[in-house]
Amino acid sequence: MSKINVRSPFYISITATNLTSCQLELFIYTGTKGVGATNNDRPTAATYTLNSFAVNNVCTFEIAELVRDYFDNEFDGDYSTSIFWVDYRTTNTIQTTVGSATAFTQLKGFYGYGFFEDGVQNNTLNSDTSAATTSYINNKAVLQSNTKIVKLDDAPAVIAVDRSLATRVTYLKNGTQVYTEEITSTTNSSTQIKYVTSGVNGSDEFEDRVIQDGGTFEGSDCLANFSKEFTLFDFDTILVDSSLGVTKLTVTNEEECKFTPLKITFINKYGTLQDIWFFKRSNEALTTKTEDFKKNIISAASYNISKHQNKTLTKNGKEKLTLNTGYYPEAYNDVFKEMQLSEDCWIEIDSKTLPIKVTSSSFAYKTQLNDKIINYTIEIEFAFDTINNIR
């Protein structure tokens, strides 16, 4: 099944001799994908019906923007991402004769995008030859750009895989298997993306894992020392088997004793959640915004000098953080690029997952040749007002 990344245009082009016009019926839905006439969640009525006049025997539709409107990305610390099934069929008008509707063409929609150099993503249907061509499918079993993973020591490594392609995920330590998980295919949109982790989903620390497992956490110095002795299973390599071959991911664990590491999770190029750890110094700042008015304080031809003449009507603030990554391999440049381009980002602070915006508008790529040691400084802003004003 072809893939559509909805943050980039997706064109459907229909070609036929003496083509006058074409109608496209577009079905956007979640749940079980359409297979046959029953046992699926495809709606009976089209989500959109589009019509186009032919130019030089060709009708062209762009559908990505329509599908994109249905995504509402959320993340509360639990790694889960749904896709949309996108089915369509066309009906051609040859001169004045209206033909029959074609069979459904099925797509799976991800909240991803392609770069300019990736080229156009489209489906081209030639009614004269019954041939169909697709460009820029960009199918990958592992839904991230990097094959090197840098994470905090004793934090799980979470990777997203496409369950229509991946078959097995194996963790290795010095070439010896320490854990394996079989991946099965699915026809449900909510489970098409599988997040594989070496820990409990959504739990980065020992305390979180206890709570996620249904236990009660009581902190103490003795327990803090105990948790350092007993960590998650150790591994340095992840192998992902798929119908496209084997993808090898290498894992580096970083310890940080001086600063408090912070984790940002964002929607990457492939429309899945991905983590970046910031290991070094962070600075917090508050900016405020005020609306004032001039108040009448006169009373009986006098006024109280303790009263405000310039009075605050409303006042609120936005908190910002300046984060430093620590030393990262050059292979992570693509990951930082995708974080800069992401529309949805979150940060985990004090076991809370909070929405943020990356406010650094420029990003200078660093290389080991030019810069020796690669450290990035990123500015972020919390995507909410400091004072709760949700009404």
The predicted-structure confidence for 29-50, as pLDDT tens digits, reads as follows 999 998 765 668 999 999 999 9
Per the listing, tokens 């109280």 go with: 304
The whole-number average pLDDT for the span 174-183 is 93
Residue 245: predicted pLDDT: 94
Residue 220: predicted pLDDT: 62
**pLDDT band with cut points at 50, 70 and 90 for residue 123:** confident
> What DSSP designation does 266 have?
E
Residue 221: predicted pLDDT: 59
Residue 159 sits in a domain of what CATH number?
2.60.40
User: How far is Cα 149 from Cα 161, in angstroms, rounded to an integer?
Assistant: 15
Same domain, 117 and 181: no
Same domain, 163 and 80: no
pLDDT tens per residue, range 312-348 = 999 999 999 999 998 888 889 999 999 999 999 999 9
Count of structural domains within the chain: 3
Q: In the predicted model, is pLDDT for residue 203 greater than 90?
A: no
Range of the domain at 121: 2-135
Residue 127: predicted pLDDT: 81
Same domain, 232 and 320: no
**pLDDT band with cut points at 50, 70 and 90 for residue 137:** confident
**Cβ atoms of residues 329 and 148 within 8 Å:** yes
**pLDDT band with cut points at 50, 70 and 90 for residue 176:** very high
Alpha helices in 289-347 (DSSP H): 333-341
Same domain, 74 and 99: yes
Q: In the predicted model, is pLDDT for residue 6 greater than 90?
A: yes
Residue 180: predicted pLDDT: 92
Which of 83, 102, 135 is at the close of a domain?
135
Residue 370: predicted pLDDT: 66
Same domain, 233 and 261: no
Q: In the predicted model, is pLDDT for residue 310 greater than 60?
A: yes
User: How far is Cα 297 from Cα 294, in angstroms, rounded to an integer?
Assistant: 9
Question: Which residue, among 222, 235, 28, has the nearest Cα to 151 in the 3D structure?
Answer: 235
Same domain, 48 and 78: yes
Which of 203, 228, 254 is at the close of a domain?
254
Residue 207: predicted pLDDT: 55
Q: What is the mean pLDDT of the chain?
A: 88
**Cβ atoms of residues 203 and 275 within 8 Å:** no
Same domain, 250 and 145: yes
Same domain, 7 and 131: yes
Same domain, 170 and 275: no
Percentage of the residues of the chain whose pLDDT score is greater than 90: 69
Residue 262 sits in a domain of what CATH number?
2.40.30
Same domain, 285 and 236: no
Percentage of the residues of the chain whose pLDDT score is greater than 70: 88
Same domain, 282 and 249: no
Which of 104, 135, 166 is at the close of a domain?
135
pLDDT tens per residue, range 213-259 = 566 656 565 555 555 544 567 899 999 999 999 999 999 999 888 88
